Amino acid sequence: MIPLPVSTSTIARSGMQAAAQRMQVAASNTANRHTDGFERRDAVQTASPDGGVQTRIVPSGASNDAIGAQLSDAIAARRAALDFAANAAAFRARNDAIGTLFDALA
């Protein structure tokens, strides 16, 4: 059986979901910076077998109150925002291309 190609919108959507989860992890780590007993978390992304990415939230084991944790969360949040924007642009480009194709065929 020949596998069906994965839709670019499916890949872009999974990228947006992964970026949103990474942003949530960074926000949670930041909000709980001084919460006793809070366990810092990381978002781990892997390639999905059917295209796109999957994200798991895992305990990091690292200290959440060090300056390194603050910098790491700030950078992770910024990267997640940029990744979300890039995937949203790919999603819009696909829809624009489909719209142009339908206009040409009309």
Q: For residue range 39-97, what is the model confidence (pLDDT) as tens digits?
A: 999 999 999 987 889 999 999 999 998 899 999 999 999 999 999 999 999 888 876 66
3 in any annotated domain = no
Asked whether 81 and 20 are in contact (CB, 8 A), the reply is no
In the numeric block, the tokens 């989860």 are attached to: 21
67 in any annotated domain = yes
The residue segments making up the domain with residue 15 are: 8-105
49 in any annotated domain = yes
The two three-digit tokens of residue 85, written as one number: 């924007």
Of residues 76, 89, 17, the one with CA closest to residue 42: 76
Question: What are the start-end ranges of the H helices in 46-66?
Answer: none
Model's pTM, two decimal places?
A: 0.81
23 in any annotated domain = yes
2 in any annotated domain = no
Count how many domains the chain has.
1
Q: Which residues pair with 46 in a beta bridge?
A: 54
